[in-house]
Amino acid sequence: MNAVGCFFLHFFHLIPFFLASYSSGGDRQRFELESKHMGTTFRIVLYATDRSTAKKAADAAFARVAELDGIMSDYKKDSELMQLCKKFEHTVGEPVKVSRELFFVLQKAEEMSKRSEGAFDVTVGPVVQLWRLARRTQELPDAKELAAARAKVGYQKVKLDPTQLTVQLLTTGMQLDLGGIAKGYAADEALRVLRDQFGIRQALVAASGDITCGDPPPGHDGWIVAIAPISKNQKPRTLKLANAAVSTSGDLEQFVEIGGVRYSHILDPKTGLGLTGRRSVTVIAPQGITADSMTKAVSVLPVDAALKLVEATPGAACYIVVLDAQERPVVTASQRFAQYEVK
């Protein structure tokens, strides 16, 4: 395979490898830079005329990611998201005006929640907190605590006003968690900064299992991305992407085993439980924010419902791998997946 840049998408770890050395396209050279944000490493690959320009552009893109982290983090107590939730901790108060960025992501989250019938839901925060503890203690959440947390979950309990850019949480103690959508949006925004502020269109932004691609490298018609197999019985799949995004979710590394049952870090918002069984989901979409959120919905939904969701989304495709009782991979791909796959 002759490719300027090839990336190995391994669930929540992105391991880059290159099948050709650093190359140039005319007066453009290839540069790779990285910075840690949102609990992971953001990596930017871009083509620019010189290193100074590349660094200046990448620094601006990373600064944008850091800004969004400060808005949307559920780990930082002073983030805009956490301050919003705090206002409704003990009482359902008046709607709160939020930043354009936070409202946009909450609006996109609501759209995905409706389209997936709640399989994707950013109000799952109270349950996520319990499962973070379960992973540390190796014990299932207390039944009463889980029930109380589930009572605070439901995307219908978030009221958005697009005219005023306000948010109101309709149940006290709600906790919003944007972990399943924010990185995809941040990758989109980083790519936008490179394009709009510096005129750099041939670029790729990778944030662990989320990758957003701009125009392809010079002399090529796409960026090459390889999806790691879920089992030894499966070969890696290779994708070719341009002006598109890809996201992969799975439980290869992020899981907890309790009482002989393996629970994924991906939760079903309706049950409050971590998914069981072994599944890897890859979603391709025009934007990172869509690919990131849809991969969580596809992970939760039955395969038939997941395919229906993907097929109804223009430009989207998915690749689902489920291990059966004998740990043999059962593969399902949407109709459009083949157009992105390198044979």
CA distance to 9, 25, 71, 166, per residue, from 101 (Å)? 27, 35, 8, 12
User: How far is it, in rounded angstroms, from Cα 279 to Cα 70?
Assistant: 32
**In this predicted structure, what is the pLDDT of residue 44?**
97
Residue 251 CA to residue 263 CA, distance in Å, equals 8
Give the span between the Cα atoms of 261 and 161, in whole angstroms: 42
**Which of 94, 67, 72, 95 has its CA nearest to residue 163?**
95
Domains along the sequence of the chain with CATH: 6-67+181-342 (3.10.520.10), 80-169 (1.10.3980.10)
Confidence (pLDDT) at 333: 95
For 30-61, the pLDDT digits (tens) are: 999 999 999 899 999 999 999 999 999 999 99
Which residues, 6+ apart, have CB-to-CB distance to 16 below 8 Å? 5, 6, 7, 8, 32, 43, 206
Higher-pLDDT residue of 8 and 225 is 225
Q: Is there a contact between 313 and 294 (Cβ–Cβ < 8 Å)? A: yes
Q: What is the pLDDT of residues 313-335, one digit of tens each?
A: 999 999 999 887 777 888 999 99
Burial class (CB in 10 A: 0-12, 13-18, 19+), 60: middle
| Segments of the chain assigned E as strands | 6-10, 13-17, 24-25, 28-37, 40-48, 96-97, 158-161, 166-169, 203-207, 210-213, 223-227, 237-241, 244-250, 255-258, 261-268, 273-276, 278-285, 317-323, 329-333, 341-342
Q: Which tokens sit at 59?
A: 């620094």
Q: What is the mean pLDDT of the chain?
A: 88
Q: pLDDT by residue (tens digit) across 252-286?
A: 556 777 777 777 778 889 988 888 777 889 999 99
